[in-house]
A and B are shown apart, each in its own frame.
Chain A
Amino acid sequence: MESLTLTDIEQKYYSDLFVYCDTDNTKKVASNGRVLDLFRAAQLPSEVVLQITELCGATRLGHFGRSQFYIALKLIAIAQSGLPLRVESLNSVKDLPLPRFVVGKNEAEARHAALYQDTDSQGLYPASATAVIPRPPGRGLQNKKGPPSSTALPPEPTSPVVSPHQSPPTSPHSWRKHKRQHSGGNADRQPVVAATGAVWTQFREPQAGPVPGEGMWPSHSPPPPGQESWVSFTADTPPSSALPAMHPSSVQESTTIRTVASAATTNEIQRQSSGYDDPWKITDEQRQYYINQFKTIQPDLTGFIPGSAAKEFFTKSKLPILELSHIWELSDFDKDGALTLDEFCAAFHLVVARKNGYDLPEKLPESLMPKLIDLDDSAEVSESTADVGYSGSPVEVTPNKSPSMPSLNQAWPEMNQSNEQWETFSERSSSSQTLTQFDSNIAPADPDTAIVHPVPIRMTPSKIHMQEMELKRTGSGETTSAFPLLIDCDGYSSSDSFTSDQEPITRQRSQSGTSPEALKVVAPPPPPPRPHPSHSRSSSLDMNRTFAATSAPGQPQPSTIAFPPAVPPRPLPTQAEVAPGGGAVLTTTSPQQIPQQPNFADFSQFQAFAASEQPSSLPEKSSEGAGPLRTVKSDGQADERSSATVNSAKGSSGPLAPPPKPVRRRLKSEDELRPEDEQHGPQKSNVIAAVLATQPSIPRSVGKDKKAIQASIRRNKETNTVLARLNSELQQQLKDLLEERISLEVQLEQLRPFSHL
């Protein structure tokens, strides 16, 4: 028996098959059913099988020893690949794919074959299986072995095997396929298979390491998952199904695939032999796919994918953690815990290969070295595609990676289809969902922090005000009160429509919902601030409040404040007049006051105030002799007019109508009396009247827009302060004028006796 040199893959495959056939555990396989079935499954003509058995010496020995068995298997592979059956070819054929066996037992074989297929055996098994039974004269086989026969064979066996074929290709993907039906994939697989077959042949040389293409199919190696699919295949291939499925569908698939592939491989081999022979090379399609996947994780192609993200991504491939860890070790070239695009592509490629059944290399293949990535953008894709590969590209990718470029390219589109399927099952969606969920979870946290601050964003001016109020309230630590306060604040703070108030209210409510915590955190300042605004309106009529509060916490207060001040000034001028001028002044002032009294009757306080102002102004005007006084008065008049105009502007509502009228009247009278100081008073009184007029109207507008009221209140306050100042100044001037008047009158009286004379 000639020595037989087998590649590692072949060795493994053959040993598995031998074990499978060695039912008696005698280390030698008799021509029992299993062997026969196996050979039958090789889908070779009986003649071929006979020839094989003859060649391997089994006929001599009467049984299949291990070596004979191996030889037979190799011959089967040779036969399947269409090469002439010769003993010499046992060791001479380089890229012989593993023998493939159809169905059933073939599955098991196919699995092995798939595993070992990287390079060889593809055709062998099926050929041998089929050949076993007929045991035809070997010569005949030789003829068949020729390419035509090989091509003929593959089609034949493949035709029935086609279906399983398709399944086998899927079996590598079977991991993925378990999830879905192979049916769809099968059709796609075939070309892939063919491609891989060719690839495998080429793999022979590089086969030492990873057998990506074959690995893909050998991916059956994850037996359990594949089993299901494989079983289905067995059904497809009834004849071979008789054989126990060692690697059930996988074998069948692999066999069928191989048969198909063998045909294709021959062509491909020729092509590929001219091409590269690196089984780990990443095709452009794969690379692009990887790049796309990379982008899903890291939009920046020059950036890194952190280890955690990569872990999550690759975990979706359902590869064992140990293998993933190994892949990571291989692909993380710079050992930085993150994957660049190149590293990612390499990792993805390795994952795809692994999924297709290829064993992981001990060290990173050259084609996957990150440096390649630097050269090619596509390299980056590998990482991304790795993730995508899970979805279905892995299988496709690996075949693409395999030397059989053409086949890969063909397979690529198919894989793309399967990719979609892959993606469906990949957790990517879930991860993305989780990611999105995360984001949404993070968002709510912000409002809490925002609430603590006075400006929770999205605020209309009123809202901001409300929030400020809310802050004050939060200081008080009352969250519940915040709501009503907020509402009140809106009313008070904003001069906008209520709608805007409502929005802020709702928002603030939501915020306050989250803010309770924040509020609680805040030290509870005194509640008092809150009640103020609410009471402010009610207290508008609270004269005590207006008197007591100098600062105007509530808006109505200014209005109330305005009222009382209106009264006091009146007695002042009279008192002032009385003090310096004595009775004469009083008499003079009183008659002046009297004519104005009718005005008093019309309007209550502010009229009196105005009247009081007028008498005071009148005396001032009478003592107009003093230029400076007039200037002062003119100034005062100007001030009064300005204030009056302001007040008149304010007083526009209905109830305010009467008040403004007298004010206007006074303005008119002031204009008429302008040359006199009286205008000073009327203006002032008008101003005051206007202010007072506006004030009473405020309480009536309670039902109106709170914001408007608040604004008006503010305005009123301002005018009040202005008027107060004016008032004080005018009163001072009044006193001075009165004194001057008195002095002048005294002089006049003194001069009169002389005038009489």
Chain B
Amino acid sequence: MSAFLHTSLDVVEEKISAVGKSLGDQRELYLGLLYPTEDYKVYGYVTNSKVKFVIVVDSSNTSLRDNEIRSMFRKLHNSFTDVMCNPFHNPGDPIQSKAFDGIVSGMMVQTG
């Protein structure tokens, strides 16, 4: 599983190198990376500060619309910035914000 994550990161980097993208790819569809036994889609999102968000969605769920994924990324980005605003948070540390976790889990619950 982690291997896919890493490969997805590589793809994200590949897309980042494309010039003219302010926010990077808001989404990236890995339809082609469907694992034989496990369908899943990986969505990528890059912020201005080169922070990458990756969402892995199980394809067994009803496919999420692209807009939904985008809104998820937006929420993720917002809560991420809130976490970053915390002076006690050292960038690079795993995020331990309960609010952040709550939002993320809420999103996950929403999308099933």
Contacts and interface: CB of A to CB of B under 8 A. Distances in A.
A406 B110 CA distance: 47
A328 B87 contact: yes
A326 B99 CA distance: 8
Interface string B91-102: 000001111000
Given A329-B82, A335-B82, A311 B87 contact: yes
A332 B82 CA distance: 9
Contacts of A310: 87
Contact of B85 (A315, A322, A335): A335
A325 B89 contact: yes
B67 interface: no
B85 A307 contact: yes
Interface in B76-112: 81-83, 85-89, 96-99
A362 interface: yes
A307 B96 contact: no
A324 interface: yes
Contacts of B82: 329, 335
Contacts of B98: 326, 329, 362
A325 B85 contact: no
A315 B89 CA distance: 12
A321 interface: yes
Nearest to A327: B88
Nearest to A330: B99
A439 interface: no
Contacts of A335: 81-82, 85
A311 B88 contact: yes
Contacts of A322: 96
B23 to A, nearest CB: 20
A658 interface: no
A348 to B, nearest CB: 15
Interface string A310-343: 1100110000011011101100100111000000
Nearest to A314: B88
A446 B46 CA distance: 43
A343 to B, nearest CB: 12
B91 to A, nearest CB: 13
Contacts of A314: 88
A747 interface: no
Contacts of B87: 306-308, 310-311, 328, 337
A46 B82 CA distance: 56
A755 B98 CA distance: 134
A601 B82 CA distance: 100
Contacts of A362: 98
Interface in B51-89: 81-83, 85-89
Contacts of B99: 329
Contacts of B88: 311, 314-315, 321, 324-325, 328
Contact of B97 (A307, A311, A326): A326
Nearest to A335: B82
B96 A329 contact: no
A362 B99 CA distance: 8
Nearest to A322: B96
A332 B81 CA distance: 13
Nearest to B99: A329
Contacts of B86: 307, 325, 328-329, 332, 337
Interface string A492-527: 000000000000000000000000000000000000
- Among A308, A311, A335, chain B packs the most CB atoms within 10 A around the CB of A335
Contacts of A308: 87
- Among B86, B87, B99, chain A packs the most CB atoms within 10 A around the CB of B87
A336 B97 contact: no
A311 B97 CA distance: 16
A335 B86 CA distance: 8
Nearest to A328: B86
Contacts of A328: 86-88
A336 B81 CA distance: 10
Interface string A586-602: 00000000000000000
Interface in A101-133: none
Nearest to B102: A362
Contacts of B81: 335
A368 to B, nearest CB: 15
A329 B88 CA distance: 10
Nearest to A306: B87
A315 B96 CA distance: 17
Interface in B21-61: none
B3 to A, nearest CB: 31
Interface string A514-545: 00000000000000000000000000000000
B106 to A, nearest CB: 13
B59 to A, nearest CB: 34
A347 B85 CA distance: 15
Given A329-B83, A329-B99, A335-B82, 7 more contacts: A307-B86, A325-B86, A325-B88, A325-B89, A328-B88, A329-B97, A337-B86
Q: 4 tightest CB-CB pairs across the interface, nearest first?
A: A307-B87, A311-B87, A325-B88, A337-B85
Interface of B: 81-83, 85-89, 96-99
27 contacts: A306-B87, A307-B85, A308-B87, A311-B87, A311-B88, A314-B88, A315-B88, A321-B88, A322-B96, A325-B88, A325-B96, A325-B97, A326-B97, A326-B98, A328-B86, A328-B88, A329-B86, A329-B97, A329-B99, A332-B86, A335-B81, A335-B82, A335-B85, A336-B85, A337-B85, A337-B87, A362-B98
